[in-house]
Structure 1
Amino acid sequence: MPTALITGASAGLGAEFARQLAARQADLVLVARTADALESLAQRLRDEHGVHVEVITADLAVEAEVQRVADRLSDPAAPIDLLVNNAGFGLPLQFADNDIDDEVRHLRVHVEASMRLMHAALRSMRGRGGRIINVASVAGFISRSTYSACKSWLIGFSRWANAEYGREGVSVTALCPGFTHTSFHERMGLAPGQEGVPAVLWLDAARVVRVGLRDASLGRAVSVPSIRYMLIVALARVLPSGLTSGVARRGRV
């Protein structure tokens, strides 16, 4: 059976990826910082779907712990067929007011850890085939502090890697949802409704994951799982950055 490794798997989109892939009878390697939540999800998936589930507790802001995950991706005796780089967290948008150590950790998780794990996965998948999904955001198409910058890097690098390594059987897809109902906002201390975002802009996590998996199977470099967000991305390309950054001060995507 195919095996998928998912980071940030204990909640949100990561847990939804785990549930949908287990339902498709994929074996799993789940990675997150929270051991109890990870073990609970793993056991539930084993019981419900009869799949093999490994658990790796790791903080992807710590280089040595990222290396442990990279080593698992590189293991020729138990190859990984799909990497989902999903781990991440948000910070307040006022960069100058944030603690710089928090910003550095943010950068390490979103960019450096994703790059290191992609590197390990590509070296293992080249020639035999595989897929990589990098969970980015529509924020990567607009001006929006360091979160936007991190996601923009992930989108750009995914586009290049998909073209470069597609010839060797590996697809790389940047999944770019908008506002999605997950625990992401709760972890920032925001209750439902506090984002100031119209209900029409919220997406369902299950649909986001289904579309992401479909687009990865089709070899698409970028997946925007909503027509309304496709329109927003198109507008962001032609509108002044000052205007889009002003609108983007609301909420998190």
Structure 2
Amino acid sequence: MPTALITGATAGIGAAFARRLAADGFTLVLVARDESRLAETADRLKLRYGVSVEVLPADLAGEDGLSRVEARCREGVDLLVNNAGFTLLGRFPDNPVADELRMLKVHCEAVLRLTLAALPGMKERRRGAVINLASVAGFFASSSYGASKAYVINFSESAAAEARGDNVRVMALCPGYVRTEFHQRASMDMSGTPGFMWLDADRVVGEALRDLALGKWVSVPSLRYKAVVAAGKLFPRRLVSELSARFGR
């Protein structure tokens, strides 16, 4: 059975990946900070899908947690889903630098290190894939959150180009607003966001896996967000940046 390691696996898009991959028969390695919630998630998946589930409690913002997940990736996985992430409520000049650095640790350093830990084994076996969760925000100037996701997109494309000769795929997944706990955890009031802009996590995962199978390096789920990204490229970058700074959050 192929093995998938998913970070941030207890909620939102990570949990949707866990459900879908369990249904597809993958052995799962689930990573999250909350050990009790992780165990509950694993029990539900084992009961419903009859798959083997390994739990790895770890905080990717800390060196100990990141190193332990890095070591597990080196043991060998067939699919790595770098999903863990969060955002901050305030504008970046107002946020404590420690909070900003913690976000960069999870979004950038963890993605880099876990991808590099998993790739050698995949290349040796000549099979495997990595999905790095980015965001539509990565195509726009949207505070340090958007900057971190721009890194994920650029890094994933670079890694995809390097790995393609080894029959290994790397893809950045760039959703827009998804109905998860993400904004609630950041205490963001999203009540003014139009209903049609929200995506379903299970559908996002379905489109992501389809795009991965097609060999895409960047996946933007749904036509509405494909249009948003395309429209952003039509206007001067400075104008887009100013509008993002004013309205993006």
TM-score by length of 2: 0.95
Could you tell me how far apart the structure 2 residues matched to 1:93 and 1:161 are? 32
| Residue of structure 1 equivalent to 2:227 | 231
TM-fit CA distance, 1:226: 0.9
Aligned-partner Cα distance in 1 for 2:188–2:226: 26
Shift of 1:237: 1.6
Q: Which runs of 4+ in 1 moved over 4 A?
A: 249-252
Larger proportion of helix: 2
Q: Distance in 2 between matches of 1:167 and 1:53?
A: 31
1:52-67 residue pairs with structure 2 within 5 A? Answer: 52-67=52-67
Greater alpha carbon shift after TM alignment, 209-218 vs 241-250? 241-250
Corresponding residue of 1:6 = 6
- Please say if residues 86 and 134 of structure 1, whose CA atoms lie closer than 8 Å, have aligned partners that are also in contact: yes
The range that moved more, 201-210 or 87-96, is: 87-96
Cα separation, partners in 2 of 1:122 and 1:84, compared to 1, 3 Å? same
Which whole-Å CA distance do the structure 1 matches of 2:46 and 2:242 have between them?
46
Aligned: 1:37 with 2:34: no
CA distance in 1 between counterparts of 2:202 and 2:227 reads 21
User: Unaligned regions of 5+ residues in structure 2, if any?
Assistant: none
Which of the residues 186, 203, 216 maps onto 2:199? 203
Shift in Å, 1:238: 2.4
Q: Deviations over 1:181-236 (max 9, x none)?
A: 1110111123551xx22111111111101011111122210000111111111111
CA contact (8 A) 1:93 1:144 kept: no
Structure 1 position 96, deviation (Å): 1.0
Q: Aligned letter for 2:177?
A: F
CA contact (8 A) 1:90 1:147 kept: yes
**Which whole-Å CA distance do the structure 1 matches of 2:13 and 2:120 have between them?**
26
Gaps of 5+ in 1: none
Question: Amino acid of the residue matched to residue 91 of structure 1?
Answer: L
SS at match of 2:124: coil
Distance 2:158 2:90 in 1: 28
Identical-pair percentage: 52
Instruction: Check whether the contact 1:3–1:82 (CA below 8 A) recurs between aligned residues.
Output: yes
When the two structures are superposed, what TM-score results if normalisation uses the length of structure 1? 0.94
- For residues 82-93 of structure 1, the aligned pairs below 5 Å read 82-93=79-90
Which letter maps to 2:206?
R
